[in-house]
Amino acid sequence: MKTLGIPQISTGDMLRDHVRKGNAVGTKVEAKMKAGILVRDEVVNRLVEERLGQPDAAHGFILDGYPRTQAQAETLCGMLAGRGAEAVVIHLVVDYNEVIARLTGRRQCPVCGTLYNVKSKPSKVPGVCDLEGAALIVRDDDREEVIRERLDAYQKQTRALIDFFREKGKRLYDVDASSEPPEAVFRKILALIQ
């Protein structure tokens, strides 16, 4: 996150990058991602551990989309302990219907990866990237049926992590992110963690 001077590490972005490259990891995970099924813990844990070992993550990082299972959370706690780092968990609280509306409205530039939203952050020319002039795409994982599958997986696996982190004594904050713009939510989060 440029504002904080630390990287935002998105497991989804890492996995999509492997799919784009067509390498062994990408080939292994592509069908699961298109179906909205979580990628195996071992694969995601390895990618996160490799990424956290890069120099720009030495002084902190923001994890986006990780951990999603208790096994991933346990692995993360071990990684952080090994680095002498403390976890701060932000639980963004948003109604499911709002999540579906936001994600189905998301568009991405296939060239530079810039994200837009047809309602909340449209491009200047509808359907065209402001930076590259490329036609914007809807990612496979932003289709409504895939989003619903991901939300179901969240309910079954990820929601329990809130209790897991609380029981472990980690700093965990619930932040209402349902109606305010991202900048306002970001300011709330900064106020909590500083």
pLDDT at 1 over 60: no
pLDDT at 61 over 70: yes
CATH superfamily of 94-170: P-loop containing nucleotide triphosphate hydrolases (3.40.50.300)
pLDDT at 75 over 50: yes
Mark residue 93 as left, alpha or beta (left: phi above 0; alpha: psi -120 to 50; beta: remaining): beta
Residue 41: both structure tokens together: 């813990």
Identify residue 194 by its one-letter amino acid code: Q
**Rounded mean pLDDT, 56-65:** 92
Portion of the chain with pLDDT greater than 70, in percent: 98
The predicted structure's pLDDT at residue 48: 96
- pLDDT category of residue 19 using cuts at 50, 70 and 90: very high
Portion of the chain with pLDDT greater than 90, in percent: 63
Asked whether this chain's domains 1-86 and 94-170 adopt the same fold, the reply is: yes
Least confident of 33-37, 68-72, 127-131, 138-142: 33-37
Task: Give tens-digit pLDDT for 40-60.
Answer: 999 999 999 999 999 999 999
In angstroms, the CA 115 to CA 186 distance is: 17
Domain boundaries, the chain: 1-86, 94-170
- pLDDT category of residue 2 using cuts at 50, 70 and 90: low
- pLDDT category of residue 163 using cuts at 50, 70 and 90: very high
In angstroms, the CA 9 to CA 48 distance is: 8
3-state secondary structure labels for all residues of the chain? CCCCCCCEEEHHHHHHHHHHHCCHHHHHHHHHHHHCCCCCHHHHHHHHHHHHCCHHHCCCCEEECCCCCHHHHHHHHHHHHHHCCCCEEEEEECCHHHHHHHHHCEEECCCCCCEEECCCECCCCCCECCCCCCECECCHHHCHHHHHHHHHHHHHHHCHHHHHHHHCCCEEEEEECCCCCHHHHHHHHHHHHC
CATH class of 1-86: alpha beta
Chain length of the chain: 194
Contact 146, 34 (CB under 8 A): yes
The predicted structure's pLDDT at residue 3: 66
pLDDT at 68 over 60: yes
What's the chain's average pLDDT? 91
